[in-house]
Structure 1
Amino acid sequence: MAVYSMTGYASVQHTPASIEDNTSAPNVRLGLEIRAVNSRFLDLTFRLPDELRSQEPALRALLTQRLKRGKVEVRAAIDVDTSASLPQPTPALLQRMQSVQDLVQAWLPDAKGLSVADALRLAGGGNAVSVDWQDIVPQVADSAVQALIEARAREGERLAEMLQDRVQQLRTLASQAGPLVPQLVEQQRQRFLDRWQEAMGLTEGQVAPEAARERALSEATAFAIRIDVAEEITRLDSHLDEVERLLKKGGEIGKRLDFLIQEMHREANTLGSKSAALDLTRISVDMKVLIEQMREQVQNIE
């Protein structure tokens, strides 16, 4: 199953067949566009002309069935172009219109004369075509939703590739952090031994060498426990495994990924707080930068 972004756009134009078959009818075209951005839940907004207002429940049902999350705006417009189908009234028809107008004005002197638009409307009155949008809108909407889903799938594929890249970079940083701890522990153990040897020299043998060595090793052990990040690295690797599993699975994974990102950020923070060397601090900072980049992109995944 694919990974879907919540961001997408689709637009569909449709001319009813009854209009296409009637060359003398005005050119009527339905335009439907859908815009979607990220949101915690499914939030639908409709901007429809009066002729399509009754179609809102059907559109809402369709979108609720096909989409799970996102702020979705649906816009529809009916475009009527009469320029290609202007009637051509005959002289006889125009003469009859003039006669009727003269008769009306003889009885009603205040009545206004016919305008050019009035004459064209009367001449083409028999060509008016009514459209039953109830059967057309669901079909057009279904095509638009399918186009939106395909757009969201393409964007989701790009997001998944980006997340996979960040996962690999985090694994590299984790592999660099692991070997640093034993080195730091050994350095600290030797430092403790050197200090205790200096202390023994100052006490002129009042402290037994065995006791000094044991105390130094005890201090080194406590230090090793304090800076050990093996548990954090293990948990981080486990979270990265789950991220990769979800990306392969696809579907509705946005909320799960968001939770994992929070857990990964916690482990990177803990690693930084245990840092006893600049190298570990750098690794922790680099990890948090990568995790923050992942968080920004995960917010767009359905």
Structure 2
Amino acid sequence: MTASMTAFARVETSHEWGSLVWEIRSVNHRYLEPHFRLPETMREIESRLREMLRRNLNRGKVECSLRVMPLDNGQSLSLNTTVLTDLNTALEQIKQHVDRVAKTSPMDILRWPGVLKQDETDIKEIQLNALQAFEQALDQIRETRAREGAELKQFILQRIDSVEEEAGKVRQQMPALLQAQRDKIIQRLEDARVETDPNRLEQELVFLAQKADVDEELDRLTTHVTEVRRVLNSDSGAIGRRLDFLMQELNREANTLSSKAIDAGTTQSAVNLKVFIEQMREQVQNIE
């Protein structure tokens, strides 16, 4: 399936303890590169979140942000005296080694990870709700990627049809072009009244025809076009890298075709091929 790597999802859920919001942003990247911004109380489930992400996505730079907003009922938070004591000891040690230490306010201390703690039951419930909401956000991401991927697929199929059409035009014109090249050389020799060995002349004409012949390049172009269509219609998850490789191969054949061009029409066809291939290549960069 063709899926884009660019997507955004937002899921907000409400519960008896409060509410939470997941936001996921995904952009193109060579590999899967997840980044999580989580409250300290949610770090325990980060490994499970990463595993869920890997099961659903293959490539892309993915930024996942979670905001947890508990209800202010005056009972959910308490001080972690162990962490508070350790923090105070560390501050005293710093004062012994540093002459000037800025005064630490209570709010600064409360912001330190682990100083405020919640009831264990509340934390487990919030973590479970966060996992469930993350699954919903991943569903949104997959749906968005699939919709955009379908549009990218149609764009590439249109361009690959144009590549095939342009290659067919060159193939159809080549016999006449080769014959015209042969006739032009013979006419020039006759105009110059140059004595030539017929066998040697025929060998040279065959050699020139072989140099200008692009059947092999056109055959490879056709093969790559068929492979692009096959990959786009396959059920495999990540196809972006395969398509990127095929774009390189298509461009290689277009360059060779351009170097062998023997008239303005063939040169223009080679230029058109490069334009179509570059347009596809830019879009392939966004495919998973």
| TM-score between the two structures when normalised by the length of structure 1 | 0.74
Matched, 1:237 2:230: no
Alpha-carbon distance in 1 for matches of 2:65, 2:34? 11
Alpha-carbon distance in 2 for matches of 1:261, 1:198? 46
**Residue 126 of structure 2: aligned partner:** 133
Note if contact 1:196-1:213 (Cα within 8 Å) is conserved in structure 2: no
Matched, 1:187 2:173: no
The one-letter amino acid paired with 1:266 is: R
Q: CA deviation at 1:31?
A: 0.4
Give every structure 1 segment of 4 or more consecutive aligned residues whose post-TM-superposition deviation is greater than 6 Å: none
Question: Which residue among 9, 12, 23 is the counterpart of 1:33?
Answer: 23
Alpha-carbon distance in 2 for matches of 1:228, 1:186? 11
Which 5+ residue runs of structure 1 have no aligned equivalent? 20-27, 87-128
**Residue 266 of structure 1: aligned partner:** 252
Alpha-carbon distance in 2 for matches of 1:158, 1:198? 58
Partner of 1:249, secondary structure, is: coil
| TM-score between the two structures when normalised by the length of structure 2 | 0.78
Alpha-carbon distance in 2 for matches of 1:255, 1:63? 20
The one-letter amino acid paired with 2:8 is: Y
Partner of 1:224, secondary structure, is: helix
Matched, 1:147 2:137: no
The one-letter amino acid paired with 2:65 is: R
**Residue 4 of structure 1: aligned partner:** 3
Alpha-carbon distance in 2 for matches of 1:212, 1:242? 47
Alpha-carbon distance in 1 for matches of 2:151, 2:168? 26
Note if contact 1:188-1:220 (Cα within 8 Å) is conserved in structure 2: no
Partner of 2:10, secondary structure, is: strand
Instruction: List aligned pairs for 1:19-30, cutoff 5 A.
Output: 19=17, 28-30=18-20
Question: Which residue among 180, 189, 197 is the counterpart of 2:190?
Answer: 197
**Residue 70 of structure 1: aligned partner:** 60
Which 5+ residue runs of structure 2 have no aligned equivalent? 75-120
Partner of 1:3, secondary structure, is: coil
Question: Which residue among 155, 163, 176 is the counterpart of 1:170?
Answer: 163
Instruction: List aligned pairs for 1:30-69, cutoff 5 A.
Output: 30-69=20-59
Q: CA deviation at 1:213?
A: 4.4
Q: CA deviation at 1:56?
A: 1.4
RMSD across aligned positions (CA) = 2.0
- Decide which structure has the larger Cα Rg and report it: 1
The one-letter amino acid paired with 1:31 is: V
Note if contact 1:6-1:69 (Cα within 8 Å) is conserved in structure 2: yes
Partner of 2:233, secondary structure, is: helix
Q: CA deviation at 1:252?
A: 1.5
Q: Deviations over 1:111-140 (max 9, x none)?
A: xxxxxxxxxxxxxxxxxx946212211111
Q: CA deviation at 1:217?
A: 3.3
The one-letter amino acid paired with 2:155 is: M
Q: Deviations over 1:142-193 (max 9, x none)?
A: 1111110111000110110011001000011001111232222211221222
Q: CA deviation at 1:79?
A: 3.1
Alpha-carbon distance in 2 for matches of 1:67, 1:183? 52
Aligned length: 240
